[in-house]
A and B are shown apart, each in its own frame.
Chain A
Amino acid sequence: MNALREMSEASAPRAPALLEVDDLAVHFHVPGSGWKERKRVLRAVDGVSFGVAERETLGIVGESGCGKSTLARALLRLVPATSGHLHYAGRDLLALDAKSLRPLRREMQIIFQDPLAALDPRMTVGQIIGEPLRALRPELPRAERHARVLAMMQRVGLLPNQVNRYAHEFSGGQAQRIGIARALAVEPRLLVCDEPVSSLDVSIKSQVINLLQELKAERALTLVFIAHDLASVRHIAQRVLVLYLGRVVEIASRDAIFARPMHPYTRMLFAAAPIPDPDAARRMRDAPVRGEIPSPFNPPSGCAFRTRCAFAVERCSAERPLLRDLSGGQVACHRAEELLDQARVPV
């Protein structure tokens, strides 16, 4: 743990981390499909370590099924962590019982991927946004609570006269605004955004991202922004973490990672992103997406990515690469240096 702290300090000499994740694992026990089969363990998140500094925006990217959402939920203890450590502002989150965790919910909030499903269909917008206030700020008088709800609605771009409408009467973009208002009503410091725009139309997407960015600046928020859409991460994040099969393969500043992705997986991921530029599209052919993501029940030995990696050598199946500092960021690849040299020459 100390080693990790030294490492992250070395790579990123910033303010002390608001959120510190150390060797976090979330495993699910899935019953076997037949009566003969034993329970299987799904390693959704496996040995993940990173830190998020106060007021920083950390983007987390990866393919579907790589553990992004599980990680987001585990950060707020919405799913139980199997092992590891989780510190928020110096407090050990995993050591808290449900009761002592509740006051911390005021400081850490989350917005979800499917905004409509995340809202109780039996509640009005006013009730949805007001409920966290009622639970976590019971000292506020009703009138004050109501005023805050209305102010919050206005801030996220909803009309105050919509306060008595039910959630299902809104579009996806509006529903996500409700979700944001709900999360921010208690004035948290940390906001985890679990693919907040991936279910929205492109035009709505940028509106919601811009809103998040404004709110972050206004309220000095620390954001963990999860997406599989690289463009929005590039837009909003200062640092980017790449997740593959529940493990961190690379962490680097946004500018560094987009200019010079170190891990072969990061390269593949970035190359696969559709770019409205025919030259770039042509380059894409050089690093095509190969194969399918392996089963998280039975991840490959050594480097989990080796089955799809064009640069895999024997060592990759024998030895799991650890996350190590390189060129201002961190990467988990045995051949990162060689590849970095190669990258300087146009492929």
Chain B
Amino acid sequence: MGALARYTARRLLGAIPTMLVIITLSFFLLRAAPGGPFEMQRALPPQVKLNLERMYHLNLPLWQQYLDYLGNILHGNFGPSFVYRSITVNQLIGQGFPVDIAIGVPALLGALLLGIPLGIVSALKQNSWLDYFPMAVAMVGISIPTFVLAPVMILVLAVMLHWLPAGGWSAGDPLYAILPAVALGLPLIAYAARVMRGSMIEVLNSPYIRTARAKGLPERTVILRHALRPAMLPMVSFLGPAVVNTITGSIVVEEIFGLPGIGRFFVDGAMNRDYTLVMGVTVLYGLLIVLFNLVADVLYGILDPRVRFQ
């Protein structure tokens, strides 16, 4: 595994320029957008605006702001929020991220623990009702957008039946996480099941599975030992980005359920030109994407010895 450690280290080093590009691009793009954090419908008195700009160093030349920002990021400091006064971006992320984790992790676990087994069963019982039924349900799950599914669930389970809260968040109360997690997780489960079914069917038709049967292995061994690992490869490529999408893509779910997650800060920040907040979330998302792509690649190598870490 020495090669693997070296590979990981090199990939992490390689992530530095990627992150630099993300930071630089989003920094200047954001500044190029018209308007600013202190442009209100009613113009501020010039002196007030000047003072505000001085306080947040917005009066300095852009290149100097950029270098200062880079320096701060290196110290793990995303700076103060321009809109949520007296709170830093770090604090906002620290508040919002646990919410996203609380709904994202169950959603992903659902994809792993329900989607994958469903896909395997469908593949093994291909063209039987054990295949058709879950796959039809999965197709429906993929086709119905979250912004339809979530309100329907709220309507039925919260408004009509009063089983679960309709929205909002209360830290530490899992009841509030159930509906958002389901809304986020159902499409994931459906996708995972379909991806898994497809790759499993393909693997089961491959010549070395025939060899495994010819060897006289029990069918269980053929599937667990020979079919499952290669069939997991497309799953890994699916789950890497899916993890990031679940976290970033929860914006819609957060909006519908009124959750104080990062996604909402991101949207609000972008609307209000809250430079530091948008930057902070962008950098965080960028890091997550780079990280999970690396995890996916490493898993790939572990599942398939033909992948060499060089």
- Closest-CB distance, A102 to chain B (whole angstroms): 5
Contact of B305 among A114, A121, A182 (CB under 8 A): A121
**CB <8 Å contact, A121 and B215:** no
Q: Say yes or no: A109 contacts B306, CB within 8 Å.
A: no
What residues of A have a CB within 8 angstroms of the CB of B206 in the complex?
Answer: 117
User: In whole angstroms, how far apart are the Cα atoms of A106 and B216 in the complex?
Assistant: 7
Q: Are A98 and B215 within 8 A (Cβ)?
A: no
A121/B306 contact (C-beta < 8 A), A98-B219, A110-B214 known? yes
Task: Indicate whether B39 reaches chain A with its CB closer than 8 angstroms.
Answer: no
Question: Residue on A with the closest CB to B208?
Answer: A120
- Report the separation of the CA atoms of residues A121 and B304 in the bound assembly, to the nearest whole angstrom: 8
B126 within 8 A of A: no
A112:B306 contact, CB within 8 angstroms: no
Number of A-B contacts (CB under 8 A): 64
B208 touches A136 (CB 8 A): no
Are B221 and A117 touching (Cβ within 8 A)? no
In the assembled complex, the Cα of A166 lies from the Cα of B308 at a distance in Å of 12
Contact residue among B207, B212, B215, B304 (Cβ-Cβ distance under 8 Å from A117): B207
Query: Does residue B217 face the partner (Cβ distance < 8 Å to A)?
Result: yes
Judge whether A120 and B218 touch: CB under 8 Å. no
Interchain nearest-CB distance for A128 vs B (Å): 8
Q: What is the distance, in angstroms, from B12's C-beta to the closest C-beta of chain A?
A: 27
Interface digits, A119-155 against B, CB 8 Å rule (1 contact, 0 not)? 1111000000001100110000000000000000000
0/1 string, A94-118, CB within 8 A of B gives 1: 0000100011011001101010011
Q: A120-B226, A121-B306, A122-B304 are in contact. Are A112 and B211 (CB under 8 A)?
A: yes
- The contact size tier of chain B is 20 to 34
Q: Specify which of B207, B214, B215 is in contact with A114 (CB 8 Å cutoff).
A: B207
B210 within 8 Å of A (CB atoms): yes
Does B230 sit within 8 A of A, measured CB to CB?
A: yes
Q: Which chain A residue shows the least CB distance to B212?
A: A120
Asked if B218 contacts A119 (CB within 8 A), the reply is: no
Known: A112-B210, A117-B207, A120-B226. A131 touches B306 (CB 8 A): no
CB pair A105 B306 closer than 8 Å: no
The answer to whether A78 touches B207, judged by C-beta atoms less than 8 angstroms apart, is no
Q: Are A112 and B207 in contact (CB under 8 A)?
A: yes
**Inter-chain contacts of B217 with A (CB < 8 A):** 131-132, 135
Residue of A nearest to B221 (CB): A135
- CB <8 Å contact, B218 and A102: yes
- List the B residue with the shortest CB-CB distance to A136: B216
Q: State A110–B213 Cα separation when bound (angstroms).
A: 10
A182–B211 contact, CB under 8 A? yes
Chain A residues, CB < 8 A from B207: 112, 114, 117-118
* A positions within 8 Å CB-CB of B: 73, 76, 78, 98, 102-103, 105-106, 109-110, 112, 114, 117-122, 131-132, 135-136, 166, 168, 179, 182-183, 186
14 contacts between A and B (CB under 8 A): A103-B216, A112-B207, A118-B211, A120-B211, A122-B304, A122-B305, A131-B217, A135-B216, A135-B218, A136-B215, A136-B216, A182-B215, A183-B214, A186-B216
**A-B contacts besides A78-B213, A135-B221, 15 pairs, CB < 8 Å:** A73-B210, A78-B214, A102-B218, A105-B214, A105-B216, A112-B207, A118-B207, A120-B211, A121-B306, A122-B226, A122-B304, A131-B212, A132-B216, A136-B215, A186-B216
5 cross-chain pairs, A with B, having the tightest CB-CB distances, nearest first: A105-B216, A117-B207, A132-B215, A120-B208, A118-B211
